Amino acid sequence: MIIVALHQSRIIAYRILPAKKSCDSVTYLDFLENDLQPEVRRQRIRSPLIYHDNSRVHKASTITAFFARHRWTELKQPGYSPDVQPNDYDLFARLKRPHKGVRFATENDMIRAYENTIFEINRNNDAIGISRLPERWEQVIQNCGDYIV
């Protein structure tokens, strides 16, 4: 499992969780406080706009309180709409593609491989899904709310 934060066409923060570890609200809050917030400050991003899906983790009171405390804005996503989630239709495919069918000897080998892929995505400014979001929204409207294929 990986937690990823994008800004423009780059991955600015990420955390690869240990095997068999899921992301709960405590883990996600720790990511926000210790990984993402320092990057937001370092890159002088004034008003972060956070685009979440509707998972329970993203809706936890500790997470919404964090956003309120730091004056970060959450862009709401309609329920049951993974076809307009940029990570789902763009980023995760880019992360997984180079490793399809690869068996890693150790967890550290896998982490290094994914970190190299993240480096390449950032080097090439390939995390473009968020810039395509208005186009995706328009497709949803044209499809009368049906999923985009």
Domain ranges of the chain: 2-142
Over 70: is that where the pLDDT of 149 sits? no
What is the distance between the alpha carbons of residues 52 and 83, in angstroms, rounded to a whole number? 13
pLDDT averaged over the chain? 85
Longest alpha-carbon distance in the chain: 47
SS (H, E, C) 22-91: CCCHHHHHHHHHHHHHHHHHHCCCCCCEEECCCCHHHHCHHHHHHHHHHCCEEECCCCCCHHHCHHHHHH
What is the distance between the alpha carbons of residues 102 and 98, in angstroms, rounded to a whole number? 9
Question: Considering the entire predicted model, what is its pTM?
Answer: 0.78
Name every residue whose Cβ is closer than 8 Å to that of residue 75 and which is 6 or more positions away in sequence. 49, 50, 51, 52
- pLDDT confidence tier of residue 29, bands split at 50, 70 and 90: very high
What pLDDT is recorded for position 79? 61
The predicted model gives 75-89 an average pLDDT of 64
What is the distance between the alpha carbons of residues 83 and 136, in angstroms, rounded to a whole number? 8
Q: Decide if domain 2-142 falls under CATH 3.90.1200.10.
A: no
Note whether 54 and 79 are within 8 A (CB): yes
What b/e sequence results for 83-98 when a residue is b if at least 16 CB atoms lie within 10 Å of its CB, and e otherwise?
Answer: ebbbbebbbeebbeee
Residue 90 falls in which region: left (phi positive, over 0), alpha (psi -120 to 50) or beta: alpha
Q: What is the identity of the amino acid at 129?
A: G
Over 70: is that where the pLDDT of 80 sits? no
